[in-house]
């Protein structure tokens, strides 16, 4: 299983070393992918992507790559002055969580630094502070960065989450994160086996063989993502297969294979189902409706289109899947953003660099850029994770290719087939999932009051 000290390939080590060396310079900065090409003397895009999404050692922001906390720990002595103050952040956060008078558990990074500076005076040095800023992103799921400057990865606001009660030290954080990574790899293995066998119980992992894997397996059982067949054999549940994640490789016309949408046993291929029956898409719409009220007319339309999407997928009609998935996606995004059109319009117009009317002139790409932007409602943070835009950017334009003449003109660069159709469908499901999570966490209410 992947772990912090696991070996990378020599080429991956070379690329990661370059990023870490850059981060240790007197003026630390991010690295553009073209610089990796020069280091490797070849196209480094795929390798850098793997270091980002599979290994979690790099972070991408503003067309630059930055080292994560996990990457810095590979050179713990060199980055010690930036990593050690994170303990002060954890201590500050627990005090804030315990302060019953403070309802919002959100604070400016500068206030945290000011509080811990007497204990960690090295933070007064600009290079150390910059590396510390990057490391703050590595405290999830205990501390969440809510707002940051794009292109520099400079955090502005932190939110301390209740999970922090479980982590009194940095070692606690690192141990929990390792278990989470191991869980992800176990679920990947279950998902891969399920894709081959179409039978959830055909592949089991054994307890009592590897202590580290057993920790992750028992954690998955506690979460309902795995279950015991007998005293030692563990298999994935339907929930676990739905929560599995596979790192995505996106280049050109991306083929985003489903990582969260398994096929249930005895179902038609490519028809994901929810644990309680019915399609995963409809379950996600149910979750969205429960998290905040959709207007009845819109709810009816979305459910109708969801049924048609699943029918088109079963019938292998990729252009219909593209069109309908994009339609549902636009519907939910416009509904959320339009609750404060006065906030969405200026940012939309800024992106267009001229007169443009929201939502009439907004494309699917425009909508995704708005909901992943920290500028929409700075006091709320982005509605959806900014990383989602990077996953979606290669496929969001595909639904516009419904006109035969444009498809002919774009021949060779864009392909309309089941892969691109599934890619947009998966983006739709990811958006619905994360939108429901944000709504449950109170983002919509805060947005309306901003």
d(CA 23, CA 25): 6
Q: Which pair of structure tokens corresponds to residue 269?
A: 């291929």
Residue 267 resides in a domain: no
* Residues 294, 417 within the same domain: yes
Beta carbons within 8 Å of 87's beta carbon, 6+ residues apart: 169, 170
* Domain CATH for 132: 1.10.10
From the centroid of its chain, how far is CA 126? 29
> How large is the average pLDDT for residues 12-23?
95
Task: Give which of 91, 92, 55, 72 is closest to 134, Cα–Cα.
Answer: 72
Q: How confident is the model at residue 398 (pLDDT cuts 50, 70, 90)?
A: low
Residue 305 resides in a domain: yes
Residue 208 vs residue 3, higher pLDDT: 208
Residue 153 resides in a domain: yes
Q: What is the pLDDT of residues 275-289, one digit of tens each?
A: 333 467 888 888 888
* Residues 322, 381 within the same domain: yes
d(CA 17, CA 37): 14
Residue 132 resides in a domain: yes
Q: Which residues of 372-381 are buried (b: 16+ CB within 10 A; e: fewer)?
A: bbbebbeebb
Residue 87 vs residue 306, higher pLDDT: 87
Domain boundary among 75, 91, 116: 75
**What percent of the chain has pLDDT above 90?**
38
Task: Please check whether residue 206 is in contact with residue 234, taking contact to mean a CB–CB distance below 8 angstroms.
Answer: yes
Residue 255 resides in a domain: no
3-state secondary structure 80-96: HHHHCCHHHHHHHHHHH
Q: How confident is the model at residue 266 (pLDDT cuts 50, 70, 90)?
A: very low
**Helix H or strand E encompassing 305:** helix 296-314
* Residues 184, 147 within the same domain: no
* 397: pLDDT strictly greater than 90: no
Task: Give which of 332, 370, 333 is closest to 351, Cα–Cα.
Answer: 370
* Residues 321, 439 within the same domain: yes
Residue 273 vs residue 261, higher pLDDT: 273
Identify the pLDDT of residue 246.
Answer: 42
* Residues 164, 192 within the same domain: no
Residue 109 resides in a domain: yes
DSSP3 helix / strand / coil % (the chain, rounded to 5): 55, 10, 35
Domain boundary among 45, 75, 105: 75
* Residues 319, 190 within the same domain: no
> How large is the average pLDDT for residues 61-72?
90
Residue 337 resides in a domain: yes
* Residues 226, 193 within the same domain: yes
* 63: pLDDT strictly greater than 90: no
* Residues 189, 310 within the same domain: no
d(CA 96, CA 286): 34
From the centroid of its chain, how far is CA 412? 30
End-to-end CA distance of the chain: give it in Å, rounded.
44
> How large is the average pLDDT for residues 165-169?
92
Please tell me the least confidently modeled range out of 104-113, 203-212, 267-276.
267-276
Q: What is the pLDDT of residues 169-187, one digit of tens each?
A: 999 999 999 999 899 889 9
* Residues 369, 398 within the same domain: yes
What is the residue range of 181's domain?
Answer: 171-243
* 290: pLDDT strictly greater than 70: yes
Residue 184 resides in a domain: yes
* Residues 226, 288 within the same domain: no
* Domain CATH for 28: 1.10.10.10
* Residues 412, 443 within the same domain: yes
Say how many domains are in the chain: 4
Longest dimension (CA), the chain: 66
Q: Which residues of 3-27 are buried (b: 16+ CB within 10 A; e: fewer)?
A: ebeeebeeebeebbebbbebbbeee
* Residues 235, 185 within the same domain: yes
Domain boundary among 168, 195, 212: 168
């Amino acid at each position: 299983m992947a772990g912090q000290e696991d070996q990378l390939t020599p080429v991956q080590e070379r690329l990661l070393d370059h990023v870490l060396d850059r981060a240790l310079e007197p003026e630390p900065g991010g690295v553009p992918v073209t610089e990796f090409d020069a280091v490797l003397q070849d196209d480094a895009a795929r390798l850098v992507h793997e270091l980002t999404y599979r290994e979690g050692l790099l972070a991408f922001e503003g067309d630059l790559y930055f080292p994560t906390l996990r990457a810095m720990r590979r050179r713990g002595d060199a980055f010690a002055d930036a990593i050690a103050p994170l303990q002060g952040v954890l201590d500050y956060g627990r005090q804030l969580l315990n302060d019953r008078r403070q309802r919002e558990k959100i604070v400016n990074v500068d206030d945290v630094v000011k509080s811990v500076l007497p204990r960690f005076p090295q933070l007064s040095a600009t290079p150390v502070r910059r590396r510390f800023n990057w490391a703050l992103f590595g405290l999830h799921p205990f501390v969440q960065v809510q707002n940051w400057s794009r292109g520099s990865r400079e955090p502005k606001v932190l939110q301390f989450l209740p999970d922090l009660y479980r982590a009194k030290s940095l070692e606690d954080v690192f141990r929990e994160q390792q278990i989470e990574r191991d869980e992800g790899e176990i679920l990947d293995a279950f998902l891969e086996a399920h894709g081959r066998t179409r039978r959830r119980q055909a592949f089991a992992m054994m307890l009592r063989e590897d202590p580290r894997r057993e920790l992750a397996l028992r954690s998955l059982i506690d979460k309902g993502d795995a279950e015991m067949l007998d005293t030692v054999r563990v298999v994935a549940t339907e929930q676990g297969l739905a929560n599995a994640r596979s790192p995505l490789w996106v280049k050109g016309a991306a083929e985003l294979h489903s990582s969260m949408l398994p096929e249930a046993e005895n179902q038609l291929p490519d028809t994901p189902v929810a644990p309680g029956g019915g399609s995963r898409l409809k379950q996600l719409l149910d979750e969205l409706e429960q998290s905040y009220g959709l207007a009845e007319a819109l709810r009816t339309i979305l459910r109708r289109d969801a049924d048609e999407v699943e029918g088109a997928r079963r019938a292998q009609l990729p252009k219909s899947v593209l069109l309908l998935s994009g339609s549902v996606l636009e519907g939910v995004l416009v509904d959320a953003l339009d609750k404060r059109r006065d906030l969405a319009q200026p940012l939309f117009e800024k992106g267009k660099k001229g007169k443009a009317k929201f939502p009439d002139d907004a494309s699917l790409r425009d909508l995704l850029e708005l909901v992943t932007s920290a500028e929409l409602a700075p006091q709320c943070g982005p509605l959806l994770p900014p990383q989602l835009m990077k996953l979606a950017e290669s496929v969001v334009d595909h639904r516009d290719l419904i006109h035969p003449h444009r498809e002919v003109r774009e021949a060779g660069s864009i392909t309309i087939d089941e892969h691109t159709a599934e890619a947009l469908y998966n983006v739709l499901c990811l958006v619905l999932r994360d939108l429901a999570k944000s709504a449950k966490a109170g983002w919509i209410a805060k947005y309306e009051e901003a």
